[in-house]
Structure 1
């Protein structure tokens, strides 16, 4: 391997550097960051959770992550944070509560003071994790392992996630079978 290739492989990406910049800031108490499908949509569990949080916890600061041009109902526009923006990296690094329906990108590293919850987006009627050889297996595995709680809607989903992402004997977090928020 050439020297330049070795350097490129070990240098942090601009996104990693932006995120790390904010990790020195204090945690923002009563702040919740919600992200669905890496900001590709605002629907499903994230939509339902956002509506309930805004209704029952008005004292919390709520931030919804979406990419440019993703439809967001007018009532939620003031809560929007653009995916991979400066503001996004700041909230990802400093929000007290983080919620998503799959995973955050590989540069994410949960801080001890943060609470991280995954509301898995559906029942797997396809292969996942090690059963697929799809890129990103390790990142989802790492996210599942670092979440404080992973919420799934049934026992089948729990078994598939634990098995296909190889977390059965390494995870100390709680995998909760609960009704779907949506």
Structure 2
């Protein structure tokens, strides 16, 4: 974990509704971090306003399965009826530009990356798990988003409980009570890890 000669990768995960997106807005505003969002590939349909190659690389299930067969993915998982994954070429492109790849991925995807033999000998992987102040607060945040029906929220809360059990495999646990403070804490950890 302490090998600073290796190129860093930041892995950022936590349950749905914990406020990862809000923290990211603050993190990406810090110029000195040189973070670059690693655009994931997915088989899900684009949501309104999403742009291919910016928000996600949108592909068919057949294309995705070809990427799996051709070993083009650092990790992938099947989540709510769709595939999501991280492309090796996206990581390489970000490193070539002198930036740090920032992967906001599912807990299962992060576990897959961490289980790759000798992965920490290839990259300086810095992992963060974002926690809600309480489970009741997480439920409240999901309800306030008004983006899903009660059944979908119920499924996400069940999944969140499972993800919270996995938190100990991550290097750093960040409680997202005040997003700006959480982002500042993460920034300081990343700077310490890479310098």
Asked if these proteins are the same fold (TM beyond 0.5), I'd say no
Which structure has the highest helix share of the two?
A: 2
Greater RCO, CA 8 A, separation 6+: 2
The normalised TM-score by structure 2 is 0.39
TM superposition score normalised by structure 1: 0.40
